[in-house]
């Protein structure tokens, strides 16, 4: 009995000593990085550095956190750095490296797994929050723009529209997404079938590498330039700016949204869409959302067809009559508007409220969970009722299907790290949100169930998923300091297919010691 008590006491004492040591170690390391930042010749000052003792620390940390799942009870950065210049980013990288800290890079804070501002490892880390680097410079005569990584896609849309009503950019639907993360992983929205991914339209970039150098496309080389356009953010350095090609949009585009319950033929319409959505005119984008709704006789599924057409109403009606007459779209269902107003339409903002794009109107904070899949063969019509039943098991769920085809089928899968090109019909985003932390386990369990249930109907070998919808259920780097290429393949092949090996080889060349490391960072593969 006395021996057991002694063992328990010693174990407890060791734990206390370990905690004290860790706390002292972290404090010492914090002092080290703060001293380094204050002494750097690049001029980083206290207005951009927020240790945990700073009164603004919490507000800075939470300023762009959209997902409440990671706002509490998760490891916090020792220091947050909000650089105002590229030289400040250089200092942050070099000082974190010198102090032995890991780095998390945040531009918009939308990442599903919270990896840009938290960590599942018990190691000290700093956040480089680049939201102050948000300048957008448009050259309308050359149809190009330089945009910094801390800008949102809404800000890019806004400033492009201020220069020309006939220019746009093919990025995502949510305007508060940070461009740094969005472009790093691919980026698709209503123009994806006409012009491909946002990353497909990047023509230059500026990156701060592991040695603190600022490199452009020429100096970084084509291998690294290839890797950062779809290889996921944070693995290769800090991309501070992107040069993109702008694309042509007509004076007027046409939008519509049609809601159909199962009793109104929603299931048959979805079946038709999944067989033709990728084959429609590349000027026509129709995405589908599946959501449970309550009706007079109980619960059912609502199928929502949400569309943007690069042209006038009469041309859209003519196109749909020949390709998708079952949808029954009439002129009264459609609205003509400018391309920039279509951005507001898809984001559920009032027409003409452009200031919300420019001013980065913050998202409503809620608990969020997501996963993704790709479909290469239509889900059998006779199995759709099973899918609808699974959707109705969670009242906070929505399945969003974005069509591929068009330009996406023309681009080789090795052109960028994003491999989901020819032969992919559509992407599925499984999404859910809720307000109370007590409901978290219930909703997360549902997400895992439907993901498992969908296994027979989605892509295989590998089961593909989208890197911008990070999913730690697929696996993570278990070792807080390193990981092997073979271990990382369990999630890497799902995101990048055969491109994963090339990404790991690029990583070995530009960051051989794996300084830019996180739960699903690209590991170095040294051959």
C-alpha 414/C-alpha 420 separation (Å) is: 10
C-alpha 477/C-alpha 485 separation (Å) is: 10
Among residues 214, 192, 196, 197, the alpha carbon closest in space to that of 205 is found at: 214
Q: Is 469 a catalytic residue?
A: yes
DSSP 33: H
Among residues 293, 267, 480, 473, the alpha carbon closest in space to that of 378 is found at: 267
HSE-CB at 226 with a 13 A cutoff on CA atoms is 18
From the candidates 86, 451, 469, 485, give the one annotated as an active-site residue. Answer: 469
pLDDT tens across the length of the chain (527 residues): 444 445 444 444 444 434 344 444 456 778 888 889 888 755 556 679 999 999 999 999 999 999 999 988 788 999 999 999 999 999 999 999 999 999 999 999 899 999 999 998 888 899 999 999 999 999 999 999 999 999 999 999 999 999 999 999 999 999 999 999 999 999 999 999 999 999 999 999 999 999 999 999 999 999 999 999 999 999 999 999 999 999 999 999 999 999 999 999 999 999 999 999 999 999 999 999 999 999 988 899 999 999 999 999 999 999 999 999 999 999 999 999 999 999 999 999 999 999 999 998 888 899 999 999 999 999 999 999 999 999 999 999 999 999 999 999 999 999 999 999 999 999 999 999 999 999 999 999 999 999 999 999 999 999 999 999 999 999 998 776 677 899 999 999 999 999 999 999 999 999 999 999 999 999 999 88
Intervals of CATH 3.30.43.10 along the chain: 2-129
Intervals of CATH 3.40.462.20 along the chain: 253-337+364-457
**Strand-strand pairing, 335-337 and 298-309:** unpaired
Task: List the CATH code of the domain at 253-337+364-457.
Answer: 3.40.462.20
CATH of 134-251+339-358, one of 3.30.43.10, 3.10.20.70, 3.30.465.10, 3.40.50.2300: 3.30.465.10
Contact 238, 130 (CB under 8 A): yes
C-alpha 96/C-alpha 215 separation (Å) is: 19
Among residues 223, 186, 215, 230, the alpha carbon closest in space to that of 502 is found at: 223
Among residues 449, 435, 426, the alpha carbon closest in space to that of 376 is found at: 426
Q: Which distant-in-sequence residues (6+ apart) come within 8 Å of 71 by Cβ?
A: 62, 65, 365
DSSP assignment string, 307-351: EEESS-HHHHHHHHHHH-GGG---GGG-EEE-HHHHHHHHTT--T
Contact 52, 59 (CB under 8 A): no
Class of domain 2-129: alpha beta
Intervals of CATH 3.30.465.10 along the chain: 134-251+339-358
Reported pTM? 0.93
């Amino acid at each position: 009995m006395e021996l057991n008590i002694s063992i328990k006491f010693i174990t407890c004492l060791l734990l206390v000593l370990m905690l004290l040591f860790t706390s002292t170690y972290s404090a010492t390391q914090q002092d080290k990085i703060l001293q380094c930042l204050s002494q750097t010749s690049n001029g980083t000052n206290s207005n951009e550095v927020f240790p945990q003792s700073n009164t603004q620390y919490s507000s800075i940390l939470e300023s762009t956190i959209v997902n409440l799942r990671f706002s509490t009870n998760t490891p916090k950065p020792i220091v947050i750095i909000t650089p105002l210049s590229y030289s400040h980013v250089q200092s942050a990288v070099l000082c974190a490296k010198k102090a032995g800290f890991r780095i998390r890079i945040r531009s918009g804070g939308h990442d599903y797994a919270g990896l840009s501002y938290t960590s599942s490892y018990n190691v000290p880390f700093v956040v480089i929050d680049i939201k102050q680097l948000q300048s957008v410079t448009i050259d309308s005569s050359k149809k190009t723009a330089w945009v910094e990584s801390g800008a949102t896609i809404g800000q890019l849309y806004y400033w492009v529209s201020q220069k020309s009503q006939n220019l746009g950019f093919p990025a995502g639907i949510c305007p508060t997404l940070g461009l740094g993360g969005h472009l790093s992983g691919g980026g698709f929205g209503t123009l994806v079938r006409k012009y491909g991914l946002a990353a497909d339209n990047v023509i230059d970039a500026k990156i701060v590498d592991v040695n603190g150098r600022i490199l452009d496309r020429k100096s970084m080389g084509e291998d690294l330039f290839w890797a950062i356009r779809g290889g996921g953010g944070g693995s290769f350095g800090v991309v501070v700016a992107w040069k993109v090609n702008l694309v042509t949009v007509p004076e007027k585009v046409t939008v519509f949204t049609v809601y159909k319950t199962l009793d109104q033929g929603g299931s048959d319409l979805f079946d038709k869409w999944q067989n033709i959505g990728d084959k429609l005119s590349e000027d026509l984008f129709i995405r589908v959302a599946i959501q449970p709704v309550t009706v007079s006789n109980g619960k059912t599924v609502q199928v929502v067809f949400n569309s943007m057409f690069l042209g006038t109403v009469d041309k859209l009606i003519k196109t749909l009559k020949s390709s998708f007459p079952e949808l029954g779209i009439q002129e009264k269902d459609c609205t003509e508007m400018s391309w920039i107003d279509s951005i507001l339409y898809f984001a559920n903002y009032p027409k003409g409220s452009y200031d919300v794009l420019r001013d980065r109107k913050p998202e409503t904070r809620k608990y969020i969970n997501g996963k993704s899949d790709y479909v290469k063969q239509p889900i059998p019509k006779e199995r759709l009722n099973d899918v609808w039943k699974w959707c109705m098991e969670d009242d906070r769920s929505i399945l969003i299907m974005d069509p591929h085809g068009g330009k996406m089928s023309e681009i080789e899968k090795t052109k960028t790290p994003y491999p989901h090109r020819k032969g992919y019909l559509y992407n599925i985003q499984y999404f859910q949100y809720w307000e109370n932390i007590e409901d978290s386990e219930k909703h997360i369990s549902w997400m895992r169930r439907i993901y498992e249930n969908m296994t027979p109907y989605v892509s295989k070998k590998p089961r593909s998923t989208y890197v911008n919808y990070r999913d730690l259920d697929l696996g993570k780097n278990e070792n807080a300091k390193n990981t092997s290429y073979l271990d990382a393949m369990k999630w890497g092949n799902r995101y990048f297919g055969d491109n994963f090996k090339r990404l790991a080889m690029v990583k070995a060349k530009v960051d051989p010691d794996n300084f830019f490391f996180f739960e699903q960072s690209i590991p170095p593969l040294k051959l």
